[in-house]
């Protein structure tokens, strides 16, 4: 029996009907056509499908769609500000923090949740937080550097904004 799912994805409200067993990742990829969120395993162990659910990074393959009822989801498609990339996205490009790019959306969303919580993480803190993510291409160090670079960019953006505010 399908049930009603009211969900906000990337700021857009949706009113859907889903089976109780439908996963959040299925809603995102198949019903909404947001293919930037990738799924790379069937055992909830690679974190490629990470999205932000009410501010928290979650594996969208491990959340039932109905558990997200009434909540807000942010996917990779909702991160940029129009045509301007988010500083984390730009830092990933500038630091060559992806190769094949398949796990990248999940890495970036997890980095966003991490930096929202801890704006100035160390290499070790990033390793701790991002340990669930499998990347088969990069060896992780360049991702770690991109996240630290993004932290700096976000901080200087913030101080520029507060500077403006003071003036």
Partner 1 sequence: MKEYSIIGKPTPNVDGPAKVTGEAAYTIDMTLPNMLYGKLLRSPYPHANILSIDTSKAEELPGVKAIITGKDTPGGKWGLWRRFRELSDQQALATDKVRFIGDPVAAVAATTEEIAEKALDLIEVEYEPLPAVFDPIEAIKDDAPMVHEDFPSNINATRHIEWGDVDKGFAEADYVREDRFVLEAAHPCAMEVHNSLASYDKGTGRLTVWTSTGSPYFVQQNLAEALKLREGDIRVIKPHVGGHYGGKNSTMPDAVNAAILSMKTGRPVKIVYNRDEEFTTTEHRTAQNMALKIGLKKDGTIVAFEVKTMTNGGAYTGLGATTLYLTGTFITMPYKIPNYRYDGVRTYTNIVWGTSIRGFGAVPAKYCSETQLDRAAKDLGIDPLEIRRKNAVIPGYEAPGQYKFESCGIQPCIEKMAVRVKEKWPKLEKDEGIGYCAFAYMSGGIFNWIDTPYAYSSAHVKVNWDGTVDLYSQAADVGQGHNTVAAMICAEELGIGIEDIRLHMGDTAHAYTDLGAWGSRETLMNGNAIKDAAAQVKQKLIDIARLKLGENIAYDLVAKNKRIFLELRPERGLSYYDLVKDAIRANDGVPLTGTGHYTPHNKGMISPAYGMGIMAMKAKVDRETGHVTVQDVLVVHDSGQIINPLGARGQVEGSIHMGLGYGLCEEMPMDQGMLLNPEFVDYKILRTRDMPEIEILDVPTYEPNGPFGAKEAAEATIAPAAPCVANAVYQATGAEFYSNVLKPEKVLKAIREAEKKQKASKATGK
Positions touching partner 1 (CB under 8 A) are 34-38, 40-43, 45-46, 48, 75-77, 79-80, 85, 89-90, 92-94, 96, 98-105, 108, 126-128, 130-144
Pick between residue 131 and residue 162 the one whose CB is nearest to partner 1. 131
Q: DSSP of the chain, one letter per residue?
A: --EEEEEEETTEEEEEEE-TT-BHHHIIIIIS--TTS----SSS-S-TTEEEETTEEEETTSSBGGGGTT-EEE-GGGTSBTTBPPHHHHHHHHTT--SS-TTHHHHHHHHHHHHHH-SS--HHHHHHHHTT---SSS-SHHHHHHHHHHHHHHHHHHHHHHHHHH-
Least distance (Å) between residue 57 CB and partner 1: 15
Least distance (Å) between residue 54 CB and partner 1: 20
Closest CA to 35 of 100, 89, 105, 109: 105
Least distance (Å) between residue 22 CB and partner 1: 11
Pick between residue 6 and residue 96 the one whose CB is nearest to partner 1. 96
Pick between residue 21 and residue 164 the one whose CB is nearest to partner 1. 21
Least distance (Å) between residue 35 CB and partner 1: 4
Pick between residue 53 and residue 108 the one whose CB is nearest to partner 1. 108
> At what angle are helices 104-117 and 141-166 packed, to 10 degrees?
50
Least distance (Å) between residue 53 CB and partner 1: 17
Pick between residue 17 and residue 96 the one whose CB is nearest to partner 1. 96
């Amino acid at each position: 029996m399908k049930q009603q799912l009211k969900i906000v994805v990337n700021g857009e409200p949706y009113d859907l009907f889903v089976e109780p067993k439908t996963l959040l990742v299925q809603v995102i990829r198949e019903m909404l056509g947001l293919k930037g969120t990738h799924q790379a395993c069937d055992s909830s162990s690679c974190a490629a499908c990470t999205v932000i659910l009410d501010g928290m990074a979650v594996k969208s393959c491990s959340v039932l769609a109905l558990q997200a009822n009434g909540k807000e989801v942010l996917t990779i498609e909702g991160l940029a500000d129009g045509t301007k990339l988010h500083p984390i996205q730009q830092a990933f490009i500038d630091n060559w923090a992806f190769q094949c790019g398949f796990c990248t959306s999940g890495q970036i969303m997890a980095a966003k949740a991490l930096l929202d919580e801890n704006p100035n993480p160390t290499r070790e803190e990033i390793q701790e937080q991002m340990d669930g993510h499998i990347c088969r291409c990069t060896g992780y160090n360049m991702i770690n550097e991109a996240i630290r670079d993004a932290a700096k960019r976000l901080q200087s953006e913030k101080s520029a904004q507060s500077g403006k505010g003071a003036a």
